Homo-oligomer: A and B are copies of this chain.
Amino acid sequence: MKPVDDATVERHRAKMANRKAVQDAEVAEKTLEKGLLMVHTGPGKGKSTAAFGLALRMLGNNRRVGIVQFIKGAWSTGEQPAFAAFGDRVVWHTMGEGFTWETQDLKRDIAAAERAWDKVRELMADNSIGLLVLDELNIALRYEYLDLEKVVAELTARRPDLHVVVTGRNAKPLLMDAADLVTEMTLVKHHFKAGVKAQAGIEF
């Protein structure tokens, strides 16, 4: 690195002192604690991955986590064996039918989605669960496997301390309106375009 002169050091200190004052004031303003409804959507990578990262963080805070996978059931993911390290602190349910373009069977997909939603209800009622990951629920809603109004109403009526994260592209506006946090993952650049295939530990 280039040498740093005293004027630069002082400018940095003043700038950061100011930044800290702003930061501290912002933190002091926020006093509410509540279970959040979070949505990860958009065409980019990281929607499910960030949800699983949240699950990990919740486990690190000694809370239990429920995960319901609405679409990816048939995929062998790296998360499932990793979460096994936490024993019964992670409750996992997959629709077990794979992507909807694998089954091509609308009635089967609807029945599987409804069974998965029954599991969500059960986990929402379980006070030991601190975070519920509803992975690819947006896909099930997009294909109308589940009733959007009913899903949003039940999520909104959940117990107030439960955090929920919903993932998947094309989140419905009604769901985003009900959410506390909506993040869109945007694809800036992707290696699949350069012919790189899905690899263990990255895509699955």
Interface residues of A in 153-197 (CB under 8 A from B): 163, 176, 179-192, 194-197
| CB nearest neighbor in B for A113 | B1
Whether B189 lies near A182 (C-beta < 8 A) is yes
Q: Which residues of B contact A100 (CB under 8 A)?
A: 16
One of B32, B40, B77 near A197 (C-beta < 8 A): B32
Q: Mark A41-64, 1 if CB is under 8 A from B, else 0.
A: 110111011111110111111110
Q: Which residues of B contact A27 (CB under 8 A)?
A: 197-198
Whether B181 lies near A190 (C-beta < 8 A) is yes
Whether B32 lies near A195 (C-beta < 8 A) is yes
Contact A184-B188, Cβ < 8 Å, known A52-B57, A53-B49, A58-B78 = yes
Contact A13-B106, Cβ < 8 Å, known A30-B196, A147-B1 = yes
One of B77, B99, B182, B196 near A57 (C-beta < 8 A): B77
Whether B201 lies near A189 (C-beta < 8 A) is no
Whether A195 lies near B1 (C-beta < 8 A) is no
| CB nearest neighbor in B for A65 | B201
Contact A61-B30, Cβ < 8 Å, known A78-B56, A101-B16, A182-B188 = no
Q: Does A25 contact B (CB under 8 A)?
A: no
Whether B204 lies near A189 (C-beta < 8 A) is no
CA distance A202 to B132 in the complex (A): 12
Task: Enumerate chain A interface residues (CB-CB to B < 8 A).
Answer: 1, 4, 8-9, 12-13, 16-17, 19-20, 23, 26-27, 29-34, 36, 38-42, 44-46, 48-54, 56-63, 77-83, 85-86, 99-107, 110, 114, 130-131, 143-147, 163, 176, 179-192, 194-202, 204
